[in-house]
Structure 1
Amino acid sequence: MTVASHVEELRKKHQNLSVAVERAQRSPSARDHEITAMKREKLRLKEQINRLGH
């Protein structure tokens, strides 16, 4: 896997998490700790993308 394709995969995961967080925040049954965990994962992915320089 090239660096560019790896970064693209990370961006897709980040975008999917963004959608999931938005959906969870609108849902009355969503638990705060689940949303927090998704946000942490989004941040981890963003940091990894930035580290790879893209």
Structure 2
Amino acid sequence: MTVAAHLAELRRKHEALSEQVEKIQRSPGSDDLEIAELKKQKLKIKEEIERLAQV
């Protein structure tokens, strides 16, 4: 897998997590722990994207 393809996949995953977080936040009785975990995953992906983009 090329770096560009890997970056594209990471960006797709990041966007999917963003949508999932928004959906959960809009639902009544949303689970704060689940939201926090998803946001951690998003942050890890964002950091990986930034790291790879600098190469």
Q: TM-score, normalised by structure 2?
A: 0.93
Give the number of aligned pairs.
54
Alignment of 1:1-54 (within 5 A): 1-53=1-53
Deviates more, 1:12-21 or 1:22-31: 22-31
> In structure 2, what is the Cα distance between the partners aligned to 1:12 and 1:43?
14
Q: Which runs of 4+ in 1 moved over 3 A?
A: none
Q: TM-score, normalised by structure 1?
A: 0.94
Structure 1 residue runs of 5 or longer lacking an equivalent are none
Aligned-pair identity in percent equals: 54
